[in-house]
Each structure stands twice: as structure tokens, then as C-alpha cells.
């Protein structure tokens, strides 16, 4: 049985008090159901967030991770540091990291392998640009991104991997892929995984959709058979909107 997941990526938003307030609001508003809920506040506040969650069933995760254990990597954060404060899952490969910080497939594969070696779980993000979709190259681009990264890990790593298909043209733009476009890509990705790693792994990996998911479109997107939940940006900053999105994933 695949896990249903809704994860909120808070990006570079919220100071300490806003972080604590949003967590407190989520603790009141999130209705317990069979959905796994995750939130990714800024690095600075992860420890406070873990303490504030205080046993409530929301997992605090990180937005990024370094691919080295320790040393002279100014400004970076390691898996060991994250694990020491109770953070055991990280995003890797978000399109903003790829675009603004030049994170290429080779680096992302290193991050992925190292994180898993350290016992972290990974939400691995991928997705095509608008020009790729307009030129009908979206399947090829996605397949390449996957072939260069997650397809290079060993079979046993897959129990630590969650995938997030995030078409870049839909992130923060208010433009969402249609439920059919999401389903079509998720089905394609599952087929690619099945071809390389077999049906058991492809049937068990959760594939989230990300890109302008809001309370008014979440149910339709989540109703598709290969869409196991969402990675939510803007709408995750509002407790009421995020809670409604979580409830849509029943
Ligand atoms: C994201 O950044 O992962 C994302 C999906 O953002 P938004 O929901 O704002 O499009």
C-alpha cells in the first residue's frame, strides 16, 4: 500500500514567531486521517519546529542537504546535523535549487546517495520547463532527469525515496497541470521505475504532484490513481488552506 502524503515547502518564508504560530495553527486545524503530513520550515527554525510539534503527527523535514559529512563547506548543513535534531527527511532537487544554485543531476545524485547512506528519507523533485512541454519533450526531459539520478541507486534505496513531479511552469505561477496531465506523467514515471526495478518497487513508491496545488484543485488532482499526494508551496503558508489540502487527500 502506498503512503498518501502532503508536504508543505515553506521555502525562505516565516521568522521564528511566524514559524511557531503556523505550527500551532496546523496542530489545531489538521484533521487526523490516513495522510502523512510533512512541513519544511527554514533551516534556522527546524529545531524549534521539531520541539513545537511535540509528538503531534506532523513530520518536520528539511528543504535541502549537503552531500558531505562535515568540514569546510561554509553555509551548508549535513545529514548528521539534521538527524541530531530529529529531522530524518529532506527535499532534494527542487527546481529552485536546480535553477538558482546550479544543482545539476550529478550533484543531486551525490546528495541522494549520501542522504540515503546516512539513513535519511528523501523527497526527490523533478519536472520539465515550459519550453519542454511546449515542444512536447516533457517525457524525454523527465526520463533523463530520472535516469541521471534515482535510476542510479540500488534497489534497497527505494524504501527511502518519495518522488515529487513538479512541472516548473506550474510552480508558484498559479497555473496547475491538469489532473490528467499529472496522472499521465505519474503513470509514465511509475512505468519507468517498473522497467528498471520491477513492479513491487514501482507500485510502492509514493509520487507526489507539486505546482500551484490549492484547496480548490487538490481533490481532483489527488483523485488520480497514480497521484499519491502533493508537495505544496504557497498554500502551505496558510494553515487553513494547507489543512484543506491535507483533507482532500483521503
Ligand atoms: C513548490 O515550490 O514545491 C511548489 C509546488 O510551489 P507552489 O505550490 O507555490 O506552486
Backbone angles phi, psi at 90, to 5 degrees: -135, 150
For residue 247 the three cell numbers come to 483533507
Per-residue pLDDT of the chain (250 residues; tens, 9 = 90+): 799 999 999 999 999 999 999 999 999 999 867 899 999 999 999 999 999 998 899 999 999 999 999 999 999 999 999 999 999 999 999 999 999 999 999 999 999 999 999 999 999 999 999 999 999 999 999 999 999 999 999 999 999 999 999 999 999 888 888 999 999 999 999 999 999 999 999 999 999 999 999 999 999 999 999 999 999 999 999 999 999 999 999 7
- The pLDDT value recorded for residue 109 is 98
Q: At 156, phi and psi to the nearest 5?
A: -70, -20
Beta strands of the chain (E only): which ranges?
4-9, 35-40, 58-60, 89-92, 121-126, 161-165, 207-210, 229-232
Q: Which of 59, 94, 96, 186 is catalytic?
A: 94
Q: Looking at the whole model, is its pTM more than 0.85?
A: yes
Q: Which three cell numbers stand for residue 49?
A: 519546529
CATH classification for the domain delimited by 4-248, as one of 3.20.20.70, 3.10.310.30, 3.30.430.20, 3.90.1150.10: 3.20.20.70
At residue 31, the pLDDT reads 82
Q: What residues does 164 pair with on adjacent strands?
A: 125, 208
Tens-digit pLDDT profile for residues 115-161: 999 999 999 999 999 999 999 999 999 999 999 999 999 999 999 99
Compute, in angstroms, the gap from residue 97 CA to the centroid of ligand 1. Answer: 13
177 lines ligand 1 (CB under 6 A): no
6 touches 230 (CB < 8 A):
yes
Q: Which candidate in 59, 96, 128, 166 is catalytic?
A: 166
Q: Active site includes 94?
A: yes
C-alpha cell at 243: 489543512
Cβ of 167 less than 6 Å from ligand 1: no
Residue 212 near ligand 1, beta carbon < 6 Å: yes
Cell of 37: 503530513
Note the pLDDT of residue 33.
74
Return phi, psi of residue 231, to 5°: -105, 120
Name the closest-CA residue to atom 7, ligand 1: 233
Dihedral angle of Cα 69, 86, 65, 125, to the nearest 10 degrees:
140
51 SS3 class: helix
Amino acid at each position: 500500500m502506498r503512503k498518501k502524503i502532503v508536504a508543505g515547502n515553506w521555502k525562505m518564508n516565516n521568522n521564528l514567531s511566524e514559524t511557531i504560530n503556523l505550527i500551532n495553527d496546523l496542530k489545531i486545524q489538521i484533521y487526523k486521517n490516513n495522510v502523512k503530513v510533512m512541513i519544511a520550515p527554514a533551516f534556522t527554525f527546524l529545531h524549534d519546529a521539531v520541539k513545537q510539534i511535540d509528538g503531534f503527527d506532523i513530520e518536520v523535514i528539511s528543504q535541502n542537504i549537503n552531500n558531505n559529512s562535515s568540514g569546510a563547506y561554509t553555509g551548508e548543513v549535513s545529514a548528521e546535523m539534521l538527524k541530531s535534531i530529529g529531522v530524518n527527511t529532506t527535499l532534494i532537487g527542487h527546481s529552485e535549487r536546480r535553477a538558482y544554485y546550479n544543482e545539476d543531476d550529478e550533484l543531486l545524485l551525490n546528495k541522494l546517495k549520501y542522504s540515503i547512506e546516512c539513513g535519511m528519507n528523501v523527497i526527490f523533485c523533478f519536472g520539465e520547463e515550459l519550453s519542454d512541454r511546449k515542444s512536447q519533450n516533457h517525457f524525454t526531459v523527465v526520463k533523463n532527469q530520472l535516469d541521471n539520478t534515482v535510476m542510479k541507486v540500488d534497489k534497497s534505496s527505494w524504501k527511502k525515496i518519495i518522488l515529487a513531479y513538479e512541472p516548473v511552469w506550474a510552480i508558484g505561477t498559479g497555473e496547475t497541470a491538469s489532473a490528467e496531465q499529472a496522472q499521465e506523467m505519474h503513470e509514465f514515471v511509475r512505468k519507468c521505475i517498473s522497467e528498471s526495478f520491477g513492479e513491487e518497487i514501482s507500485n510502492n513508491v509514493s509520487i507526489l504532484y507539486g505546482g500551484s496545488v490549492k484547496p480548490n484543485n487538490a481533490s481532483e488532482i489527488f483523485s488520480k490513481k497514480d497521484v499519491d499526494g502533493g508537495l505544496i508551496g504557497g498554500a502551505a503558508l496558510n494553515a487553513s488552506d494547507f489543512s484543506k489540502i491535507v483533507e482532500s487527500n483521503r
